[in-house]
Chain A
């Protein structure tokens, strides 16, 4: 290719450089950017933390304060969107935001704290109110009587019921 041809081609194509930091940029459809938890929709079911490959999303219980903490650390996220696929209430979604650079490590955290139900028998927190109500809707109405018992107390109660039958019995 001669020099003249090269120059004419360069002129016909024109300028390709983006003016990015001074002009906002549009990202393509389906771009996987910053994951955001919608705190109003989240029920604390721990499905996302099970699906997350690098454990950027961790769910743990604070038993002293009686809250379940959904902790998202974007610094470790690999943007695979598995949490979005697995979420039953579509609370977590990947936005198109990609300008995530920060000067501090602390700014990359998102924390959602959900209130937990205390067991009627032993007083130990075992599940969030939202998750309990979400599952209670799926249950048959007559199965809701043991809703506020933790799994251990529930097992005890069921075995009592099996032994003593309907309406209680005598030893």
Chain B
């Protein structure tokens, strides 16, 4: 998507600082991400991408929207950490919006802004390498691994055999009770 250098504006939208420290970690000599042309910038107007860390609290929502609008098109949103991806541990509390997906709903309803390309980076906090991998996806260096998995169980004969075996064992014991037949008093009189 972005072939050239990606300049990132890092915005703390109510995070616990865990993800922020990991974001700073990727600029250390060990993971030195500036070799890929990535740079933190001080103003959203200079940025290509905006990185959210946190579940978007109600208090910071106006500032988040302001910063979001200030980033010029075309832009990329990096949702860093499980809080930004899906609300994290605070997903249903009253004080937070609950991740970037809810933020997009508000943006579309109130301002008519279409959601931009978003890269979700789950983790609590994500490993610095996981963020480099996400940037690699944005730059087209690596391929996406994660895919949706659905499994639907089909009953085979094994389970039916198992049930029969269990019942046969039960019938073999002397404690097994026959079926209860409830009769009214009239029926019992007729029989006798």
- Docked CA distance A105–B179 (Å): 53
> Interface SS of chain B: helix, strand, loop or mixed?
mixed
B59 sits at the interface (CB 8 A): no
Residues of A within 8 A of B185 (CB): 170-171
Q: Is the CB of A18 within 8 A of B31?
A: yes
Contact A108–B180 (Cβ < 8 Å): no
Complex Cα distance A105/B121, Å?
A: 10
Q: Are A141 and B86 in contact (CB under 8 A)?
A: no
Nearest chain A CB to B89's CB is how many angstroms away?
Answer: 4
Report whether B182 and A160 are in contact in the complex, using a CB–CB cutoff of 8 Å.
Answer: yes
The CA-CA distance from A145 to B172 in the complex, in Å, is 12
By a CB distance below 8 angstroms, the chain A residues around B170 are 141-145
Beta-carbon contact of B162 and A133 below 8 Å: yes
Q: Give the distance to chain B from A36, nearest Cβ to Cβ, in Å.
A: 9
Cross-chain contact B153 with A75 (CB below 8 angstroms): no
B39 part of interface (Cβ distance < 8 Å): no
Q: Are B91 and A76 in contact (CB under 8 A)?
A: yes
Within 8 Å of chain B (Cβ to Cβ): is A54? yes
A120-159 vs B: 1/0 string, CB under 8 Å? 0000000001100100110011111101000000000100
Which A residues are closer than 8 A to B by beta carbons? 16-18, 20-22, 25, 27, 34, 39, 53-56, 67, 73-79, 97-115, 129-130, 133, 136-137, 140-145, 147, 157, 160-161, 164, 166-171
Closest 3 CB pairs of A and B: A142-B175, A101-B134, A75-B86
